[in-house]
Amino acid sequence: MACSNLVKLNATSSSWIGQQSFGQRSAAPLGSPARRVSVVRAGSYADELVQTAKSIASPGRGILAIDESSATCGKRLASIGLDNTETNRQAYRQLLLTTPGLGEYISGSILFEETLYQSTTDGKKFVDCLRDENIVPGIKVDKGLVPLPGSNNESWCQGLDGLASRSAEYYSQGARFAKWRTVVSIPCGPSALAVKEAAWGLARYAAISQDNGLVPIVEPEILLDGDHSIERTREVAELVWAEVFHYLAENNVLYEGILLKPSMVTPGADHKEKASPETIAQYTLTVLKRRVPPAVPGIMFLSGGQSEMEATLNLNAMNQSPNPWHVSFSYARALQNSVLKAWQGRPEKAEAGQKALLARAKANSMAQLGRYSAEGESDDAKKGMFVKGYTY
């Protein structure tokens, strides 16, 4: 994504597009009626939402994200020489979802719509495979990123149209949580318009999801793209997360029935100075404590193109002392990369692929508990997976 100019985000320049800065709130005139206080509600599903969120945010467990679109899954398969067919996608996801013992380390799995309705070659629904392992089935509900008119070549996430009816159908199919990913680009500003659109879209999605029995995973990803410092990422994260929780409250979203899936606070991928896991943990936890209410049950980090080992080391560093929330993982590439290399698309290597998945899941389980050691990690686990302008 090319950006027409670079804009430093601060109290004045964040309104560069001619709008009020997204950090400001207009005060009511003197003598005006008191503003009505919003009432948190989640309909008849409130108790179930809280229970589902707690189940996913359980000690030593995190989320396996396999919600890549068919096109993106095809890229994964192409890396091991397989054609992008429904049969091959089914075979790969069957390998993942039927891994014996996976539920010891994985509490939830985000599925693509195709996968939610699929079964194993033996006829067992994938949803039932997950339930047998005490893993909560989830579903990606957004419809992807499109250009945002009036912005600095930024994007917005579509998918609110028809979301209520789709969510009700997903619930009847067995899904119990949802995921909506939107992104903010630091090299593109970010503009006040893009941040407000991202936050409002996430809040509307969250309210609709809860109204239909699905725990919403709120994912405001701040992209790794750029050569900015970790301080710059911290500044943007504070403002974005504040805007997100403001609009969640405006939409009467039940905080106890959501999960937050943020990116870690790191330097840009092209920044000359890399940060240690301890530094990343310090910056990330500082922003979380300033911006995220303790009522939120779980912080399920995305890996965002980090290497498998980096993602695990950073998570481990964040769990060296108690946190107000369950601090865990919702990884896709950082759980799947080793699996693909071990499997190679060959039926006789399916067990090797499953062992690779268990190894990575266990490593991140230990990191969630603050007990991970990188000793013995392979060279492949150390290889970065960042892709500029990555799409799902």
172 Cβ neighbours under 8 A, 6+ residues apart: none
Which whole number is the average pLDDT over 64-76?
94
| Degrees, nearest 5: CA angle 208-210-211 | 65
Give the burial class of 123: count Cβ atoms within 10 A of its Cβ; 0-12 exposed, 13-18 middle, 19 or more buried.
Answer: exposed
The tokens 């009511």 sit on which residue? 28
327: left (phi over 0), alpha (psi -120 to 50) or beta: beta
Rg (CA), the chain: 20
Q: Hey, what are 298's tokens?
A: 């779980």
Mean pLDDT on 328-332: 97
Q: Quick one: pLDDT at residue 150?
A: 94
What is residue 44's predicted lDDT score, i.e. its pLDDT?
85
Answer for the pair 127, 116: CB distance below 8 angstroms, yes or no: yes
Q: What is the pLDDT of residues 147-200, one digit of tens each?
A: 999 999 999 999 999 999 999 999 999 999 999 999 999 999 899 999 999 999
Tokens 């000690």 locate to 59
Residues 326-341: what's their mean pLDDT? 95
Q: Is the pLDDT of residue 234 over 60?
A: yes
- Please determine, for residue 219, whether its predicted confidence score (pLDDT) is greater than 60: yes
Which residues, in sequence order, are CB contacts of 368 under 8 Å at separation 6+?
59, 60, 61, 62, 315, 319, 326, 327, 328, 329
| C-alpha pair distances (Å), 236 with each of 62, 156, 257, 351 | 26, 17, 25, 43
Low-confidence winner among 39-53, 75-89, 194-208, 275-289 (lowest mean pLDDT): 39-53
Q: How high is the pLDDT of residue 374?
A: 77
Segments making up each domain of the chain, as ranges = 41-382
| Superfamily holding 41-382 | Aldolase class I (3.20.20.70)
Task: Give the residue numbers annotated as catalytic, written as ranges.
Answer: 219, 261
pLDDT at 5: 46
Structure confidence at residue 49 (pLDDT) = 98
Share of the chain above pLDDT 70, in %: 85
Residue whose C-alpha is closest to residue 116's, from 257, 260, 214, 205: 214
Tokens at residue 377, please? 């990690």
Round the average pLDDT of the chain to a whole number and report it.
Answer: 89
273 pLDDT higher than 80: yes
Greater confidence (305 vs 206) lies with 206
Average pLDDT (36-42) is 54
